[in-house]
A and B are shown apart, each in its own frame.
Chain A
Amino acid sequence: MPDFRQWSINSVSTEADQIQIIAYCCQHCAYAAADLAGGLRMQYSPSVKIVELPCSGRMDVIALLEALEQGADGILVAG
């Protein structure tokens, strides 16, 4: 497989200083609410990246800690 590393570094250099917040959202409520917020055109920070889960109970502590370890600036679990 070709090595994409070089490419990746170049093209995402502008993202270096970006704040990253990961929001783990239950698909039945919080994720649907985020969809609705979109429908209502409510604006919020583009730093927030939503990860869909079947239930917020799926989220385990280790995964949260690992995300922080990898550089996430904040984590939201909503459900």
Chain B
Amino acid sequence: MDNGSIPSSSIDTFIDPRNKTNQPPRIGSVLVLGGGIAGMQSALDLADQGFKVYLVENQSAIGGKMAQLDKTFPTNDCAMCNISPKLVETGRHPNIEIITNATIHQISGEKGNFSVQVWQEPRYIDIEKCVACNDCVEVCPVIVPDIFNEDLAKRTAVYKRYPQAIPNAYAIQKAGVAPCRDACPTGQRAQGYIALIREGRWEDAFRVIKMDNPFPGICGRICNHRCEDACNRAKLDEPINIRALKRFVTDKIYEQPREPIAPLEITHPEKKVAIIGAGPCGLTAAQDIIYQGYPVTVFESLPVAGGMLRVGVPEYRLPTAIVDREVQDIVDLGVDLQLNHRVDDLDSLFEDGYQAVLIAAGAHEGVRPPIPGASLEGVLVSTNFLRDVRLGKMPDLGKKVVVVGAGDVAMDVARTALRLQTEVHVVYRRREQDASAGEEEIRHAREEGIHFHFQTNPAEIISAGNGNLAGMWCEDTEPGVVDKSGRPRPVPVPDSKHFLDCDTVIFAVGQRAGLAFIPDDAGVGITGENTIAINPNTFAATREGVFAAGDSIYGTAYVIEAISSGHTAARSIIRFLQGKHLEPARTPPLPVVELSRHDIEERVSRGEVERKARVPLPEIDPESRRDNFREVVLGYDDARAMEEAARCLACGICSECMSCVFACGTNAIDHDMVASGRTLQVGGVILAPGYQTFQAEKAEEYGFGRYPNVVTSIQFERLLSASGPTMGHIQRPSDGKLPRRIAFLQCIGSRDQEHPYCSSVCCMAATKEALIAKEHHPELDIHIFQMDLRAFSKGYWGYYNRAKDQYGIQYHYCRVSSLSETASGNNLVIKFPTNAEQPSTIGTDVFDMVVLSVGMEIPANLKLLAQQLGLDLTENGFCQCLPDSPLETSLPGVFAAGAFRGPKDIPESVIEASGAAGAAAAFLGEARNTRTTRRIYPEERDTSCQPPRIGVFVCHCGTNIGGYLDVDEVTRYASSLPQVVHAESNLYSCSQDSIKHITQRVLEEDLNRVVVASCSPLTHRPLFQDSIRDAGLNPYLFEMANIRNQCSWVHSDDNLAATRKAKELLRMAVAKVSRHTPQYMIDVPVQKSALVLGGGAAGMTASLTLASQGFPVHLVEKEEQLGGQLTRLFTPLNNHHPQQVLTDLLRKVNDQPLITQHMGSRVIGTSGFKGNFTSQIENSAGEVLSVRHGVTILATGGEEYRGPDYGYGTHPRIITQQDLEKRLTDDTLSKTLPANGSVVMIQCVGPAERYCSRICCTTALKNALALKQAYPALNIRILYKDIRVYGLTEQLYTDVRDLGVLFFRYDEGHKPEVEASSPGASLTSNERELVVKGWDLSLNRPIVFNPDLVVLSMPVIPRGDMKKLANLFKVSLDQDGFFLEAHVKLRPVDFATEGIYMAGLAHYPKLIEESIIQAQAAASRASIVLSKDTLKAGGSVSVVTQNQCTGCLTCVRVCPFEVPVIQKDVPGAGGILGAAYIEPAVCQGCGICVAECPAQAIDLMYYTDSQLKAKVAALLNPADLTLHMI
């Protein structure tokens, strides 16, 4: 065909070199969204083919839904055992970068060259540093529902998604920052210490408070607690009494004898800092600065430190002892505190060598309002008055005192004056509700007998002469307009003057900084409000090196603000001293959690939260406090504090109590991580984001969430799992008892109005769960209620029959519409036709537990993402792919796989994932190996002549090993073992620095064998092997002793026994490693071409996918034309026309120069192994061509069954579906079928009674639809067992029913019969009347039809030459004669024999689209081999000592991978020709041949007989240890 005549767009996968210059370069990396089984498979396939892969997963670990499953059908394999090796492989692959907690936002660019924006939520734990030791979990006080266990269990807020999770690192679950922390100026982690108080962990709670606040005892008493104002609990009842809890825990600590504090080391003695003012601000800054190693001097003009706290707050509110203690804690760090030292001159400080000065002088000057008489003797101001009292200088107040003002300070003044035995009146010009004093303060003052005069304005103070006051003229006020403070301005009432006699007036109306010590020429700017001018971000004053903070910049504020500004100033000063730019880079604000009233009410209704007022704080009664300065408010006791702490709603989820930070030995935790975005350059994108299960509480009729014993199928899966919440014991949630009768309700969230599709897996999943439950407890009575049994894939039908016949699981064809709970016992009542004989009568039955088989749906956020990306979706939100490229989305170059394309099971997801990888590789072939990295190791040392020098590294694993056994003892023991020349213990042997350290030690100590005694070799061996490779050691000179998972953790109750066992395990490892020898990988060159057998849809697609990557393909077809079964299919399905597919494929194959077509040919011989096959192709003329190829794809197809069932072949009007399709395209049908005639289709014919042929239902439905479209008046009746359409094809079933096609179900006992009337003389065979007799199960009575046409839905059967083919290629067939895959779930296109792959009908019946996808998958798998120049072979493989081999064939027979061969010209034992040979390139290293070889001529490297024996001998006979070592 002439290339020029083809529109270039149609050759979409063919790289035309002429176009190269016009395109941006293709990028050799691919982004895979979704780390479930599909995403992992795509990632692994691509990474193995030389592409860099970014695997973006929205959870904290990959594994997806499959990781949650207990078992998989139809093999009942453990799901985790299956997926775990994939997880490890994905996690360790050098070309895969896993990005967790992430999603994508935007895809721009074009096919081959995309920019993808990735957004990653913080994990709060550094994956690089986390060694997954679990120490953080031990200390976490926050308990939350375990999502992985579907809320059936609890876990801590710091968590690993599941034990085997990859990345093997913890994560912290946070909803954001709790509002209490957000509201606090110093960011006190209130939720954290509250959580710890709830647990009774006083010291931990105190520790987290002290992290941000050096004055907890003070703040616990007098803070204005903005945290409480922000507390979400206020929306329900009352905020948590956070201040009181802080005080409680501080008092608890201060009750203990004070531990002396050692001074800190001064690391920068020359960089002195001066701080003016020893108040909370100055001392906070002093503490922060000295912690960084800078010397600090604090100058204080008063004789005491503590500032306003010490001289401004009365003793009865804040005892001196508390202030002194907290000041002393700072001074003891090494701060030089100079009391009675007033600084008068800033310059002199700099002259004295101070590099930086912080002005934190506070606001100690009281304000006198400008009213007549304000300066008279006997008129005092609050600051001086309070200070004098605090310093013991009691002023003479006379008998009656008037206090002006109603702030907190006014209350302090009034109550102090009262305690000095005076009558106290408070005068305030505004209303009571406008007073700035706390409600509690005013209440306390009243209780103590203070008189309040609100709305009273002081007008003039009158002297009585002799230095005494007479009193004060006042006037009444009334509220006027609202002023800038938000309160009504007080307006004097005319003629309201009255006289208030008194001996003393004390003003408490404000205070300000005294800045007299700053002369005008000091270079420090002062604001108009008499505060120091500063940069608000850095607190730097206008003069370099001078900073100001606290009240001297704000005017008056609260202590917590002073502390906060002290921290800020210290940060700036430290940056200044370090020579850094003062203003640090802005960090994004942490998201704050806002719970709505609705959220909280919901938690109340779920019973998680109880309405409960604050636990009250005890106080001294007013009578006993008037004459003394004893503290008025008393603290909580233990019980009350814990009770109050338990009220916390834990808004942030993680409480940020910092316990994990202190517990973490590798410094991996960072609570202030923030979300971040990055843009990745990739050539292609694969979307495999998976699905969510239907939210069962939405189907209210089934009571999920209300009835405790109604669970979802995924919850039941967790209940069955040995690692689940019940350790695999089936327990009812209501009472933990074993349910005796369980009902499974199918199609919950599937096949309904909102979900017009079948979820494809639920029938088999329910069957599996029922069957596994029966295996646990054979006495269980299990019933499954379903509409159809959709057992449409390989092995499913047989599995169902086992469940029904061997396990006695009962199936009911019935959709249960609702259920109810019994009055007692939480049992569940289901209505259904209980009597099979009378299906129209509904009865009831009671079950102990109901499992809802929840369907699959696309989560809303995924639909939104798809919209954002511009992807076409189906009505139900599944990804809409292209008709001619079934895995490609509407965005060219973006592919989809797995449940995102439609509901499907694991093997199909895996096939699609490989297929998508194949499709992506098909256009990225040229960019292969451009983005990948290869690790370079130093040259290997020759250790062959050296005696063993063994190094032993024993791991503490934090406390995980060290906490349960004596690591030092084990290490000492190790160093005393023979050949051990070095033994040491590490805190975490796998931490990055330890890994480097091990490398270093190997070099320094000249070690040639290494043993690490730590965790499991399955997870950590490769890591340690790498570390010794970096030291030039062969990686096989290594062994591990598993003293954690298999020792310390499982004998945690017996330290002695665990220590002894650890020694034994170590001794065994040392004995074995002594006998280790280096193993080398060899490079085997790859023949970079493929042999594809079969020229149907699958074979052609596989050939095209490989050829477009530049690999030559030999396509062998036994017929003279390409097309296979495609040539016999005509009716479209979902508007896909088989003949169009055929035409397209033929054109592309014919245009592809790298495909060599061998028509009318067959393969008559093949030999070799993966990467190096040689096959002989014989054409119809008998000529034989020998070709070399690296891979083989068998796509040899299947055919429609044509057996004699139901009279097929005896009557011309009994035809097959393929016959019907053909006749629908020509006019033969119209000649035999009247327009209003009738057609009967019969499903499940012949072999389909043994296995489900998968496609017959779909075929019948699409043909019925075509018939109805051609002959609308036709009566079509379909006799079926189950209608096994699946996934989105469910819609076809609905459409056909809407058109009036009638369906009659039959069962095994009521198979239909087809009869033809006897051929009379007058009748041609065609005219004989057809009679179909059946049984209507829903009416329980016979039915008879006289159709014009009987269409038999014949199954696909394997071709007749399958056995021959299987023998030739040494591959296996399943019981039905189809090809047997290497693993039914996870290797669905691989044969057990390496290098050979399958696709299409030869594997199992499937639709055209499915064949095409599978062919792409097979090509992808094959590309892994072809993309490499050489294959690595060797390592831990079996090796035959040929001169001991007797050629008995045992190994040949037992090898499941067909690897051993007899080399007929190689001499074996006794020189007799014919010794076995095991090709290292394909040996799987299982060692079965070693165990079976009667001559013991085979050994498995790394697990040799002598190594295993040494291990056992070392355990059992330690006295002979040296004998077992070389």
Q: State yes or no: do A and B come from one complex.
A: yes
Binding site for B on A (CB under 8 A): 1-5, 7-9, 11-12, 14-15, 18, 20, 22, 27-29, 31-44, 46, 49-55, 57-60, 63, 66-67, 70-72
**A-facing residues in B916-949 (Cβ within 8 Å):** 947
Contact of B1491 with A60 in the complex, beta carbons under 8 Å: yes
* Known contacts A7-B976, A39-B1045, A66 near B1492 by CB under 8 Å: no
Taken residue by residue from 954 to 989, chain B's Cβ proximity to chain A (1 for < 8 Å, 0 otherwise) reads as: 000000000000000000010011100000000000
Is B1064 an interface residue, CB under 8 A from the partner? yes
List 18 A-B residue pairs with CB atoms under 8 Å apart, sorted by A's residue number: A3-B1522, A4-B1522, A11-B976, A22-B1512, A22-B1515, A35-B1046, A40-B727, A41-B1050, A41-B1052, A46-B1047, A46-B1061, A54-B1436, A57-B1491, A58-B1503, A70-B1512, A71-B1516, A71-B1517, A72-B1516
Set of chain B residues within 8 Å of A43, measured between Cβ atoms: 1050-1053
Option from B84, B723, B1491, B1492 in Cβ contact (under 8 Å) with A40: B723
Find the A residue at minimum CB distance from B1062: A46
Tell me whether B1016 and A35 are in contact (CB under 8 A).
Answer: yes
Docked-complex contact B1521 and A36, CB < 8 angstroms: no
Complex-state Cα separation, A67 to B1512, whole angstroms: 7
Contact residues of B: prevailing secondary structure: helix
Partner of B1512, one of A33, A37, A51: A51
Instruction: Give, as a whole number of angstroms, the nearest-CB distance from B837 to chain A.
Output: 47
Q: Which of B297-305, B634-642, B1482-1490 contacts A (4 or more CB under 8 A)?
A: B1482-1490
Give the contacting residue for B1491; candidates A22, A58, A72; CB below 8 A: A58
Inter-chain contact B1521/A46, CB cutoff 8 Å = no
State the Cβ distance, A33 to closest chain B Cβ, in Å.
8
B1518 adjacent to A1 (CB under 8 Å): no
Contact A66 B1512 (CB under 8 A): yes
Which residues of chain B are near A4, meaning CB under 8 Å?
A: 977-978, 1521-1522
A55, B1492: Cα distance in complex, Å:
13
Any A CB within 8 A of the CB of B78: yes
A35–B579 alpha-carbon span in the complex (Å): 52
A18 to B1522, CA, bound (A): 21
Q: From known contacts A35-B1016, A35-B1046, infer whether A55 and B1487 are also in contact, taking CB-CB under 8 Å.
A: yes
The 5 closest A-B pairs by CB, nearest first: A58-B1487, A38-B1045, A57-B1488, A55-B1486, A60-B1491
Q: Are A36 and B1487 in contact (CB under 8 A)?
A: no
Knowing A43-B1051, A44-B1050, A49-B1064 are in contact, say whether A12-B1044 is a contact too (CB < 8 A).
no
Q: Is the C-beta of B144 less than 8 angstroms from some C-beta in chain A? A: no
Is B1486 within 8 A of A49, CB to CB? Answer: no
Q: Given A28-B85, A29-B81, are A1 and B1508 neighbors across the interface (CB < 8 Å)?
A: no
Whether, in the assembled complex, B12 has its beta carbon less than 8 Å from a beta carbon of chain A, the answer is no
Complex CA–CA separation, A3 to B978 (angstroms): 9
Interface check B1042, CB cutoff 8 A:
yes
On whether the beta carbons of A41 and B1522 are closer than 8 Å, the reply is no
B1259-1307 residues at the A interface, CB under 8 angstroms: none
Chain A's nearest CB lies how many Å from the CB of B92? Answer: 15
**Given contacts A32-B84, A35-B1018, is CB(A57)–CB(B1046) below 8 Å?**
no
Cα-based distance from A27 to B1018 in the complex (angstroms): 7
CB of B1058 closer than 8 Å to a CB of A: yes
Q: Cβ of A72: which chain B residues have Cβ within 8 Å of it?
A: 1512, 1516
In the complex, chain B residues 1155-1172 whose Cβ is within 8 Å of any chain A Cβ? none
How far does the alpha carbon of A48 sit from the alpha carbon of B1058 in the complex, in Å?
11
B1519 lies within 8 A of A8 (CB): yes
Q: Is the CB of A9 within 8 A of B1050?
A: no
Known: A54-B1503, A57-B1487, A58-B1487. A38 touches B1050 (CB 8 A): yes
Bound-state Cα–Cα, A39 to B203, Å:
29
B163, B1052, B1500, B1508: the one within 8 Å of A39 (CB): B163
Q: In this assembly, does B1328 line the interface, its C-beta being within 8 Å of a C-beta of chain A?
A: no
Q: Which residue of A lies closest to B1049 (CB)?
A: A38
Q: Answer whether A14 and B1060 are a contact pair too, CB < 8 Å, given A5-B1519, A63-B1509.
A: yes
Q: Cβ of B365 < 8 Å from any Cβ of A?
A: no
A38 pairs with B1044, CB closer than 8 A: yes
> Please, which residues of chain B bring their CB within 8 A of the CB of A28?
81, 85
**Are A41 and B1049 in touch, CB under 8 angstroms?**
yes
Residues of B bordering A, CB below 8 Å:
78, 80-81, 84-85, 163-164, 722-723, 727, 947, 973, 976-978, 1016-1019, 1042, 1044-1047, 1049-1054, 1057-1058, 1060-1061, 1064-1065, 1068, 1436, 1485-1488, 1490-1492, 1500, 1503, 1505, 1508-1509, 1511-1513, 1515-1522
Identify B1520's interface contact among A5, A37, A51, A59, CB under 8 A. A5
Residue numbers in A under 8 Å from B1511 (CB-CB): 51
Known: A1-B947, A36-B1045, A58-B1500. 13 other contacts (CB 8 A): A12-B1519, A35-B1019, A36-B80, A37-B1045, A38-B1044, A41-B1049, A49-B1061, A51-B1511, A52-B1017, A53-B1487, A54-B1486, A60-B1491, A72-B1516
Which chain A residue shows the least CB distance to B978? A4
A54→B1509 contact, CB < 8 A? no
* CB-CB under 8 A for A50 and B1042, given A29-B78, A57-B1488: yes
Closest to A18 in B: B1060
CB pair A46 B1519 closer than 8 Å: no
- Also in contact, A54 and B1018, with CB within 8 A (given A8-B1518, A44-B1050, A46-B1058): no
Residue of A nearest to B1057 (CB): A46
Minimal Cβ-Cβ distance residue in A for B1493? A60
The distance from the CB of B738 to the nearest CB of chain A, in whole angstroms, is 21
The answer to whether B1060 and A46 have CB atoms under 8 Å apart is yes
Q: Select from chain A the residue with minimum beta-carbon distance to B84.
A: A32
Given the known inter-chain contacts A9-B1519, A70-B1517, please indicate yes or no for A58 contacting B1057, CB distance below 8 A: no
Bound form: Cα–Cα A20–B1516 in Å:
8
Identify the closest chain A residue to B134 (Cβ).
Answer: A39
* In contact, A35 and B723 (Cβ under 8 angstroms): no
Contact residues in B for A33 (Cβ distance below 8 Å): 81
Nearest residue (CB) in B for A40 is B723
Closest Cβ neighbor of B1061 among chain A residues: A46
Indicate the member of B947, B1436, B1516 with the most A CB atoms within 10 Å. Answer: B1516
- The docked-state distance in angstroms from the alpha carbon of A58 to that of B1492 is 8
Minimum distance in angstroms from A65 CB to a CB of chain B: 11
- Chain A residue with Cβ nearest B1016: A35
Judging by beta carbons under 8 Å apart, are B1057 and A57 in contact? no
- Given contact pairs A39-B1049, A46-B1054, A46-B1057, A54 touches B1515 in the complex (Cβ within 8 A): no
Q: Is the CB of A60 within 8 A of B1512?
A: no
Among B163, B978, B1045, contact of A34 (Cβ-Cβ < 8 Å): B1045
Beta-carbon contact of A5 and B1490 below 8 Å: no
CB-based nearest A residue for B1522 = A4
Docked complex Cα distance between A70 and B1503 (Å): 20
Q: Considering the chains assembled together, what is the distance between the CA atoms of A7 and B84 in angstroms?
A: 43
Minimum CB distance partner of A69 in chain B: B1516
CB proximity of B164 to chain A, nearest CB, Å? 7
Name which of B947, B1017, B1050, B1520 has the most chain A CB atoms within 10 A of its CB.
B1050
Within the complex, the shortest CB–CB distance from A36 to chain B, in Å, comes to 6
- Residues of B within 8 Å of A5, CB to CB, are 1519-1520, 1522
If the complex has contacts A54-B1487, A60-B1492, A71-B1517, are A36 and B1054 also in contact, measured as CB distance less than 8 A? no
Q: Is the CB–CB distance between B163 and A36 below 8 Å?
A: yes
Bound state CA distance, A22 and B85, in angstroms? 25
User: How many whole Å from A32's CB to the nearest CB in chain B?
Assistant: 6
Q: Which residues of A contact B1521 (CB under 8 A)?
A: 4, 8
Residues of A within 8 A of B1515 (CB): 20, 22, 49
| A20-B78 Cα distance, complex, nearest whole Å | 29
Q: Are A1 and B978 in contact (CB under 8 A)?
A: yes
Q: How far is the CA of A50 from the CA of B1485 in the complex (A)?
A: 20
A34 x B1509 contact (CB < 8 A): no
In the bound complex, what is the Cα–Cα distance between A32 and B86 (angstroms)? 13
Chain B residues in 8 Å Cβ range of A54: 1436, 1485-1487, 1500, 1503
Q: How far is the CA of A44 from the CA of B1487 in the complex (A)?
A: 29
Q: Which residues of A contact B1057 (CB under 8 A)?
A: 46
Question: Which B residues lie within 8 Å of A22 (CB)?
Answer: 1512, 1515
Contacting residues, chain A, for B722 (C-beta < 8 A): 36
